[in-house]
Amino acid sequence: MTRECTNRELLIYTISRLLTGVRHVAVGMSSPMPAAGAMLLRVLNKKRGLGDVQVSILGSVKHNAFTSGSEELFDCAAQGRIDAFFLGGGQIDGKGNVNLVGTGGYPNSEVRWPGSYGSAYLYFLVPRVILFREEHSPRVLVDQVDFISAPGATEDGVYRRGGPHALLTSAALFTFQRDTNRFRLESVHPGRSAADIRGMTGFSFDNDHCEVETPGPDAETLALMRSQVRTELAETYPQFAASLPEAA
């Protein structure tokens, strides 16, 4: 009998759905769940006879064709060869802005984070950027970020082919509407309600009475996640892979 899907497995499966149709997914060094979701899509596409998916994980030996690290990632993005990427952030606001610098007034931030690095560059160039943060709270999902590392929207006349596609947390899935520069609640995860999401989110969003529950994987897909995907993930993220359920 298949064991019940865990919340993290639900997130991995949801990421694979958000990546449907992409050819090349790039994943940062500290992104085990996005990496697992990309790997799951690759496995499912192969099983269904669909196109191959290239998964490039920075820091991986086996799942990375780059020879010069992030420099080559940036080159590929500029050439239009990256279809999807993931961004997190200490703060994310309702306009899709991301803060990777710190809280409080810059440069005298009360709390400092690693920094913006190439986040704005990739946000402008990669067509499908998925914002992913496991924590869902007003501390993270704020009305307005304290510092804009990467803007969710830009003025007319600014060249931009990339931007936010969706926001996924441990509690809900939002899509980003580029015509209004707002998030729309698409589904809430099992055990949550729209009222929960409203109380846990520091910004306003559309469809805030959503009653759709985020769908989980079927038994066959769950078995693939607990066997092949878990094994592939262990090469780059051994501790995280070990924390996931194994196939019976």
Cβ-count burial of 59 within 10 angstroms (0-12 exposed, 13-18 middle, 19+ buried)?
middle
Q: What CA–CA distance (Å, rounded) separates 169 from 167?
A: 7
Residues spanned by the domain of 131: 7-89+118-137+160-243
Evaluate whether residue 33 is within a structural domain.
Answer: yes
Token duo for residue 201 = 């989110």
**Cβ density class 151-177: b for 16+ within 10 Å, e for less:** bbbeeeeeeeebbbbbbbbbbbbbbbe
Evaluate whether residue 49 is within a structural domain.
Answer: yes
The CATH number for 128's domain is 3.40.1080.10
Segment 198-221, tens digit of pLDDT: 999 999 999 999 999 999 999 999
Evaluate whether residue 178 is within a structural domain.
Answer: yes
Nearest in space to 216 (alpha carbons), one of 21, 6, 2: 6
Asked whether residue 42 carries a pLDDT value surpassing 80, the answer given is yes
Evaluate whether residue 57 is within a structural domain.
Answer: yes
Evaluate whether residue 32 is within a structural domain.
Answer: yes
Evaluate whether residue 151 is within a structural domain.
Answer: no
Whole-model pTM above 0.85?
yes
Residue 3's pLDDT band (boundaries 50, 70, 90)? low
State whether residue 60 is helix, strand or coil: coil
Asked whether residue 6 carries a pLDDT value surpassing 70, the answer given is yes
Count of structural domains, the chain = 1
Evaluate whether residue 173 is within a structural domain.
Answer: yes
Query: Between residues 44 and 105, which one has the greater pLDDT?
Result: 44
Segment 11-24, tens digit of pLDDT: 999 999 999 999 99
